[in-house]
Amino acid sequence: MKSSKIIPFLFVLLIFACSDSNSTGNGEEENLEPSLRNSPTFPVGFAIQQQHLNNGNYVNILREDARSLSAEYEMKMNILYPSSSGINYEPINNFLEYAELNDTRVHGHALIWHSSTPGWLENFSGSDSEFESIVENYIRDIVSTYKGRIASWDVVNEAFSDGSGEYRNSVFYQKMGETYIEKAFQWAREADPDLLLFYNDYGTIYDQDKYLAMIRMIDDFQDRGIPIDGVGFQMHVSYNFPSLEAIENAVQPILDRGLMVHFSELDIRVNPEGEQVDFNAEFSNRLTARVEEIFGYYRTIPGQYRYGITFWGVKDDDTWLRDFWQNQNEWPLIYDENFQPKEAHQAIIDMFAD
Ligand code: XIL
């Protein structure tokens, strides 16, 4: 090729390379203003509900902010496998449709969780080995169907009891014993060798018995070659509890074991004593300070172990805390009820500005 032809050719290549790296996956230019999506050095994500994908206000926020998505409840077994007659793939397909169009990672939550077991399986009257086959087929089916499209799953959620670290007496434990956990991880690995496999739990920052039970399980898995790639700390925290030191002390041994850490369900109670009925400046300061503390610590974790931070909801009235804990006076997220970003949102972006 003559040099007069090479230069325009290189120019065209350059344009392609640039447009590709700036692409959101939907053919449009990415907004290069600092945002939650492009500022932090690790993925920030949100748990959302399927219906939010049809709401332009949510979609605008997600496209601006989210590098990762979790389903708040639609990728749990009671929704995906509502009756013994078959699996309903529709919710997963809907999440993936958005995610693939917008170049967003999908973290699956959760293959096995005692609280989302479908009624028909909870009351299963067949033999234990029939029960186990159902669970095995379910995990293999879901994981292999979405091989290469879902990046990671919480394979087992909340397997240990509060305050004792005993195995939670779930139907899975009753029918299969403690080996249900390792089997679930093995089936998932076999169905998609590239899938990242997480154990996810709450209270593991401050409940020492539960924490040690989880560590024992991880050590046992690693000794015996049972696959596990990471730990999800749910991080349903308050503005002042647990301490940063407690968070660091819980996370470090996970890093020492070569596992990734996901702060998987972050929400921050700013009004744990219920003293006020409005979100005020004091609460905003509490939220911002805590977000800065948590993100500030998380960014010090070596890059290969940072799976990301996922907020459990986008805006304050999404929060499960209001229904589940019957506490209407909580504002634990980084958008207000009117889709307006709170100070904490900007604080995160500012932390990563050069
Ligand atoms: C909650 C959802 O937010 C609710 O919408 C649903 O009804 C119940 O589950 N720990 C978890 C999450 O792992 O799955 C829970 O999500 C919150 C606590």
Over residues 22-46, the pLDDT tens digits come to 334 444 445 568 999 999 999 999 9
Cα 73 to middle of ligand 1, angstroms: 6
Q: Does residue 157's CB lie within 6 angstroms of at least one atom of ligand 1?
A: yes
Cα 161 to middle of ligand 1, angstroms: 17
The pLDDT value recorded for residue 24 is 41
The pLDDT value recorded for residue 331 is 97
Tell me if 142 sits within 8 A of 192, measured CB to CB.
no
Q: Does residue 49's CB lie within 6 angstroms of at least one atom of ligand 1?
A: no
Q: Does residue 154's CB lie within 6 angstroms of at least one atom of ligand 1?
A: no
Q: Which tokens in the block code for residue 182?
A: 């390792």
- Show the CA angle centred on residue 67, arms to residues 14 and 271, nearest 5°: 145
The pLDDT value recorded for residue 28 is 47
The pLDDT value recorded for residue 25 is 40
What sections of the chain are H helices per DSSP?
A: 3-21, 56-65, 77-80, 90-101, 119-122, 128-145, 171-176, 179-191, 208-224, 244-256, 281-298, 320-324, 343-351
The pLDDT value recorded for residue 183 is 99
The pLDDT value recorded for residue 326 is 79
Residue nearest to atom 16 of ligand 1 (CA): 72
Q: Which of 74, 267, 312, 326 to mutate to test the pocket of ligand 1 (most atoms within 8 A of CB)?
A: 312
The pLDDT value recorded for residue 33 is 85
Cα 72 to middle of ligand 1, angstroms: 6
Residue nearest to atom 13 of ligand 1 (CA): 157
The pLDDT value recorded for residue 16 is 33
List b or e across 327-345, with b for residues whose CB sees 16 or more CB atoms inside 10 angstroms.
eebbbbbbbbeeeebbebb
Contacts of 344 (CB under 8 A, 6+ apart): 284, 287, 288, 291, 334
Options 72, 158, 182, 330, the catalytic residue:
158
Going from the C-alpha of 181 to that of each of 124, 125, 164, 175, 267, the distances in angstroms are 19, 21, 18, 12, 27
Task: Tell which atom from ligand 1 comes closest to the C-alpha of 319.
Answer: 3
What is the Cα–Cα distance from 192 to 143, expressed in whole angstroms? 6
The pLDDT value recorded for residue 7 is 39
92 φ, ψ to 5°? Answer: -60, -45
pLDDT tens by residue, 180-200: 999 999 999 999 999 999 999
Tell me if 350 sits within 8 A of 343, measured CB to CB.
no
Q: What's the burial of 103, exposed, middle or buried (CB within 10 Å: 0-12/13-18/19+)?
A: middle
The pLDDT value recorded for residue 1 is 39
Q: Which tokens in the block code for residue 328?
A: 């209407």
Residue 136 is among the residues annotated as catalytic for this protein? no
Q: Does residue 72's CB lie within 6 angstroms of at least one atom of ligand 1?
A: yes
Torsion 124-126-129-134 (CA) sign: negative
What is the crossing angle of helices 343-351 and 281-298, to 10°? Answer: 30
Query: Could you list the mean pLDDT of each consecutive 10-residue stretch along the chain, which spans 354 residues?
Result: 40 34 42 86 98 98 98 98 98 98 98 98 98 98 98 99 98 98 99 99 98 98 98 98 98 98 98 90 98 98 98 97 86 98 98 89
